Amino acid sequence: MRVMVTGGAGYIGSVVTEELLRGGDEVVVYDSLYKGHREAVVEGATFVKGDLLDTALLRETLVQHKVEAVVHMAADSLVGESVKVPAKYYRNNVLGGLSLLDAMLGAEVKYLVFSSTAAVYGEPAKQPIEESNPTQPTNPYGETKLAFERALRWYDGAHGLKYVSLRYFNAAGATERSGERHDPETHLIPLVLQAATGQRPEVTIFGDDYPTLDGTCVRDYVHVVDLAQAHILALHALAKGHPSSIYNLGCGGEGYSVKQVIDCARRVTGREIPVRKGARRAGDPAVLIASSARIVRELGWRPTQQKLDAIVESAWRWMQRNR
């Protein structure tokens, strides 16, 4: 297929691009580079620098490259920032998304795979989280992702735009060429590995009084390549007539606590990782574990790297090569 990836110069977007190209699909990366990196755009993909709010350029790109489907990953994604600056999240995640849908309708592109998030569930009433759980976001990031997901349902009804929304849990790990590099970095695994290299003096544990096995928050870490594979399955299913759907994407199982992640990074790197106990971070649910049974059943998705050690090892190898 010919696929446009918005946000294809970002961490997950570059891995999705890699996997699409490897599978023989053609890729146009559309990215403003406001968070992404030009050098992260995978060789073999066409690159268009543009803003999501530029509907005319989006439409021209879709038409010119005869795009058949879109993977929409360009978004702002910092929970804390979203609480402080909601307007930015409504503008980029909702208005930006609607601009893309307008361009798609204009160019008659009918398939979309959307990067959604576990943040749509808010503080979950039960674990593991199923797609039918109530969606009650506790921050504008989750709220704006949910707003766009809901818009998709109505665009499907009115215009036959078929979509798959993938609610990511905690994406982690790296490929040989693509890894996680945010500025500022807020994610646990890269922060812990930066502490292992000495790039930062220590890691702060955000709260150790949660009702979990060791008092620290538990998350469901999923390898970025497994995540990328889910996008490819979704795209190809849509092209074969699969109905619009919403899927969780996590490895399931028991998940890993913040302390377990730090211990794992000590094992993998063989380095000291100094830690400091800090206060809870606002808006952090104690436990977020996905049930991914639906995507396993309906699309045949199978995560291949479920062990945290393998995920952290891949991130560590990438970080050592790209310091």
Residues 146-205 that bind ligand UFG (CB under 6 A): 170, 186-188, 191, 203-205
φ, ψ of residue 311 to 5 degrees: the values are -65, -50
At 2 the three-state DSSP class reads: strand
- Is residue 285 reached through a cis peptide bond, with omega within 30 degrees of 0 on the bond before it? no
Tell me how far, at minimum, the Cβ of 240 lies from ligand UFG, in Å.
Answer: 30
Region near ligand UFG per CB under 6 A, out of 43-51, 84-92, 116-124, 298-306: 116-124
Q: Of the two residues 54 and 208, which places its CB atom closer to ligand UFG in the complex? A: 208
Does 232 bind ligand UFG (CB under 6 A)? Our answer is no
Q: Of the two residues 189 and 238, which places its CB atom closer to ligand UFG in the complex? A: 189
Q: Of the two residues 93 and 305, which places its CB atom closer to ligand UFG in the complex? A: 93
Query: Cα–Cα distance between 207 and 152 in angstroms, integer?
Result: 37
Tell me how far, at minimum, the Cβ of 288 lies from ligand UFG, in Å.
Answer: 6
Q: Of the two residues 117 and 291, which places its CB atom closer to ligand UFG in the complex? A: 117
Does 206 bind ligand UFG (CB under 6 A)? Our answer is yes
Does 308 bind ligand UFG (CB under 6 A)? Our answer is no
Amino acid identity of residue 159, one-letter, is H
Q: Of the two residues 2 and 200, which places its CB atom closer to ligand UFG in the complex? A: 200
Amino acid identity of residue 92, one-letter, is N
φ, ψ of residue 145 to 5 degrees: the values are -65, -40
Tell me how far, at minimum, the Cβ of 171 lies from ligand UFG, in Å.
Answer: 7
Nearest to 117 by CA among 94, 143, 153, 91: 143
Q: Are strands 162-168 and 46-49 parallel, antiparallel or unpaired?
A: unpaired
Q: Which of 141, 210, 247, 256 is catalytic?
A: 141
End-to-end alpha carbon distance in the chain: 35
- Residue 265: which H helix or E strand, with range? helix 258-269
Does 35 bind ligand UFG (CB under 6 A)? Our answer is no
Residues with Cβ within 8 Å of residue 64, at least 6 apart in sequence? none
Tell me how far, at minimum, the Cβ of 267 lies from ligand UFG, in Å.
Answer: 18
Does 264 bind ligand UFG (CB under 6 A)? Our answer is no
Provide the CB-side half-sphere exposure for 116 (13 A, CA): 29
Give residue number: closest CB to ligand UFG: 217
Does 129 bind ligand UFG (CB under 6 A)? Our answer is no
At 212 the three-state DSSP class reads: coil
Tell me how far, at minimum, the Cβ of 206 lies from ligand UFG, in Å.
Answer: 4
Number of residues that bind ligand UFG (CB under 6 A): 21
Residues with Cβ within 8 Å of residue 271, at least 6 apart in sequence? 196, 197
Among the listed residues 4, 79, 146, 161, the single contact to ligand UFG using CB under 6 A: 79
Q: Of the two residues 61 and 178, which places its CB atom closer to ligand UFG in the complex? A: 178
141 is catalytic: yes
Does 118 bind ligand UFG (CB under 6 A)? Our answer is yes
User: For helices 188-197 and 308-321, what crossing angle results, to 10°?
Assistant: 50
Place of tokens 């208005």: 95
Q: Of the two residues 170 and 178, which places its CB atom closer to ligand UFG in the complex? A: 170
Query: Cα–Cα distance between 287 and 126 in angstroms, integer?
Result: 10
User: For helices 140-159 and 96-107, what crossing angle results, to 10°?
Assistant: 20
Give me the active site residues, please.
Answer: 141
Enumerate binding residues for ligand UFG (CB under 6 A): 77, 79, 117-119, 141, 170, 186-188, 191, 203-206, 217, 219, 258, 281, 284, 288
